[in-house]
Structure 1
Amino acid sequence: MSRRSSNTLVIPQAKSALEQMKYEVAQELGIQIPADGYYGYMATRDAGSLGGYITRRLVQIAEQQLGGRF
């Protein structure tokens, strides 16, 4: 049985835009992103807030794009 990572991007070209969004959202929430990329010392609450807010924003963008189609 092969395992597939759930973190693979459907559109790999979107990686830079998602990274930029992560830093923008972190700044809005007052969360410091580790410069070395290691999130092990980040508080679980902060990581959850960051992920949740990014998800909300992505859903909002999708709803705006779909809004004019139906």
Structure 2
Amino acid sequence: MAGERNSNTPAVQGVGKGLDQLKYEIANEMNVTLGADRTSRENGTVGGNMTKRMIQFAEQQLKNGQRI
């Protein structure tokens, strides 16, 4: 458990850089510094906000009749 690397991979190839950029933008907006020395609550809050934004984006796309 401790010291294991995250093995999650994006469902769409080539979006890793964009997701990392989103993660650090949200962390910056929340004044949270990401890292292994931070609490899981701090790091997890950023992930939760990423999910909220991605859902909002998808809902907006669907509302506008665009495919995701």
Q: How many aligned residue pairs are there?
A: 60
Structure 2 unaligned regions, length at least 5? 1-6
Moved over 4 A (4+): none
Same amino acid, percent of matched pairs? 37
* TM-score, L = length of structure 1: 0.74
Q: 43, 63, 66: which one pairs with 1:67? A: 63
Higher relative contact order (CA 8 A, sep 6+): 1
Structure 1 unaligned regions, length at least 5? 1-5
* TM-score, L = length of structure 2: 0.76
Residue of structure 1 in register with 2:19 after alignment: 18
Distance 1:29 1:62 in 2: 22
